[in-house]
Structure 1
Amino acid sequence: MTYSMTPRDLARRTSAAVDAAVEAGRDLGLTVTDARVLHDLFSVVVHLAPAPVVARVPTVLPPCTDLDSLADRQRAELDVTRWLADRGTPVIEPSPLVPPEPVRRDRFSMTFWRFVEEDRDKEPDYAANSESVADLHAAMRGYPGRLSFLSAAEPRSITEGLVLLEGHPDLIGPADLDRARREWRVLEPLVRSRAAFEEAFPGIELQPVHGDSPPANVFSGVDGDLYADFELVTLGPVEWDLAALGPDLESAYDRGARRNGMRTLNEDVLGFVNAVGMLRAITTLALVPQLPSLVEYLVPAVDQWREMPFAGGVAH
């Protein structure tokens, strides 16, 4: 089995990310004397106190993601969120105190955001969040920038993850891995080609979407909820943002869609995005050596996937 990072290794990586963020912030003219880690999973999120600025430093990345491709993705996120904020959409926006560009320091590429005080007493209301995603989609429809089709699916990462998992029978068994490969042969053409998707799902329009389960990425600020974490912003069907959330939250989204004069979710497209989302979860197992705690999140997803229709019911 491939070497897995130890708790000491993880602590060193977090410390290196914090140091890089502090140094980069100071080089940009920020006063930083009391940096504090707010979150540490796929990214280290650091409040560069006393400056009202948060640095987000991705630390757990697929092997195929280099700093150049990461920076391209970060530029799209910064541009979309700044555009939305300028039009009054409630988002966590890029910090106005530094240029809205990713900054490379050491082996990290990071972005800087306005610090917002969290309401730690508020429990997430995922039904309300899901309904409000329709408001976000309505706001994003007019975004004029260029976004790649379904880049949030990270097809190269899925392909390479399936190869890497061959060496991890402790994480996924041969039968499950064989099914995942066969499903990906069905789904990959629809992920990689806009034309193939549109042929398979005629009449399903594409638009800018959040890309990473926005009902789970609504930040409870003391002055109200804000959409956050547009790291995977992409061009796709609105169903992508509701993948794997289940009928109750899908119905909540549909209420918001009708209120906005938008179409409700399409069952066939939901089957497709749910299947792709599950393959993304399965191939994320390949990142467990970088972040061992992922196992507890991903094993239940594998169990759920085994009960789902093959490739989400997409014809093959």
Structure 2
Amino acid sequence: MTDFVTEQQIARRTSAAVDAAVGTGRDLGVTVTDARVLHDLFSVVVHLAPSPVVARIPTVLPHNADLDSLARRQRAELDVTRWLADQGTPVIPPSPLVPREPVRRDGLSMTFWQFVEEDRGKEPDYAANSEIVADLHAAMRAYPGRLSFLSAAEPQVIAESLTLFEKRPDLLGPADLDRARREWQVLEPLVRSRTAFEKAFPGVDLQPVHGDSPPANIFSGVDGDLYADFELVTLGPVEWDLAALGPDLESAYNRGAQRHGMRPLREDVLGFVNAVGMLRALTALALAPQLPVLLEYLNPAVDQWRTMPFAGGLAD
């Protein structure tokens, strides 16, 4: 297949996102003279310097994504992080200098965040990060807003990506696609239905969770660590935030949970979230034509998935 974007096309995509962020920021009264790209993968993240405002513009999205559904997800993230910041939880908050709403421009939907200087010399400590995820869960339990059950699993994206792979064996081969489909038949009912999940895992409480591996999304600021990137915030079991991290980091989380009087992680739920998480990784291959570097990141995950128990051991 030859429909992968080129480096030049990626550069044009990034430039268009920067232009949209700068234009929107100026329209909202933000002084921008030296915009600087901080990050560019699934989203382009732009510091609207010299103002302490960062724009995040999602640019690599499933083919069926629309601006309305993206804005709903962005609005949930803004609401949750604003509430957490108001409670004193260390998060990167929405920028107070612009309206705390998603803003559309040039076919893009963007959000604005407070600029925080990064401590670039600090190496991530994933064990420590996993332990303080329990602090985040304890804080999030009281969040009063409504969140959808396991929306972070993106079941529609998984289903549609599996269909797409029929015509893209270069992304996922027939044997792997067959196994993925059979696994999804087992897992999908538990992802789409809170009732089915609670029947399968009685006694597992559900609560607001980060949704996207928070131990890997803790930002090292010069004044301390901050929880970040709540783009997939959802209602689910706490295990969702520890998917695929392994026994050592699970044990670190359990130490934090014990400190808060919260239950430890359950092995059966971990099996479920690990299986769903691996399917999400597989179906992210559908985005590789937009972001070719994903092949480098995800092909090792495919190799790992082939060695894992079928559907997390949930199949009869």
Which TM-score bucket, shorter chain as reference? over 0.9
The match for 1:91 is 91
| 3-state SS, counterpart of residue 50 of structure 1 | coil
Structure 1 CA distance for aligned equivalents of residues 315 and 41 of structure 2: 36
Q: Deviations over 1:171-196 (max 9, x none)?
A: 22110110000000000000000000
The match for 2:104 is 104
Q: Deviations over 1:93-132 (max 9, x none)?
A: 0000011100000110000000000000000000000000
Structure 2 CA distance for aligned equivalents of residues 152 and 144 of structure 1: 19
The match for 2:48 is 48
| 3-state SS, counterpart of residue 11 of structure 2 | helix
Q: How many angstroms does 1:2 deviate by? A: 5.9
Structure 2 CA distance for aligned equivalents of residues 65 and 131 of structure 1: 34
The match for 1:141 is 141
The match for 2:184 is 184
1:157 and 2:157 aligned: yes
User: Pairwise CA RMSD of aligned residues?
Assistant: 0.7
The match for 1:210 is 210
The match for 1:80 is 80
Structure 2 CA distance for aligned equivalents of residues 77 and 169 of structure 1: 35
| 3-state SS, counterpart of residue 49 of structure 2 | strand
The match for 2:232 is 232
Structure 2 CA distance for aligned equivalents of residues 2 and 142 of structure 1: 49
1:260 and 2:281 aligned: no
The match for 1:196 is 196
Structure 2 CA distance for aligned equivalents of residues 238 and 165 of structure 1: 31
Structure 2 CA distance for aligned equivalents of residues 219 and 205 of structure 1: 28
Q: TM-score, normalised by structure 1?
A: 0.99
Q: How many angstroms does 1:72 deviate by? A: 0.2
Structure 2 CA distance for aligned equivalents of residues 88 and 65 of structure 1: 34
Q: Deviations over 1:47-83 (max 9, x none)?
A: 0000100000000011222110000000000000000
**Runs ≥4 in structure 1, deviation > 3 angstroms?**
none
Structure 1, unmatched stretches of 5+, are none
| 3-state SS, counterpart of residue 57 of structure 2 | strand
Q: TM-score, normalised by structure 2?
A: 0.99
Superposition map of 1:241-256 within 5 A: 241-256=241-256
The match for 1:274 is 274
Structure 2 CA distance for aligned equivalents of residues 169 and 194 of structure 1: 33
Note if contact 1:64-1:156 (Cα within 8 Å) is conserved in structure 2.
no
Q: Deviations over 1:204-257 (max 9, x none)?
A: 000000000000000000000000000000000000000000000000000000
| 3-state SS, counterpart of residue 49 of structure 1 | coil
The match for 1:127 is 127
Structure 1 CA distance for aligned equivalents of residues 306 and 158 of structure 2: 18
Structure 2 CA distance for aligned equivalents of residues 26 and 170 of structure 1: 43
Note if contact 1:5-1:291 (Cα within 8 Å) is conserved in structure 2.
yes
Q: How many angstroms does 1:167 deviate by? A: 1.8
1:36 and 2:40 aligned: no
| 3-state SS, counterpart of residue 32 of structure 1 | coil
Structure 2 CA distance for aligned equivalents of residues 31 and 237 of structure 1: 42
Q: How many angstroms does 1:315 deviate by? A: 3.2
Structure 2 CA distance for aligned equivalents of residues 248 and 14 of structure 1: 38
- Report the AA paired with residue 87 of structure 1: Q
Q: How many angstroms does 1:168 deviate by? A: 1.8
Structure 2 CA distance for aligned equivalents of residues 246 and 141 of structure 1: 24
Q: How many angstroms does 1:170 deviate by? A: 1.7
- Report the AA paired with residue 248 of structure 1: D
The match for 2:68 is 68
The match for 2:26 is 26
The match for 1:301 is 301
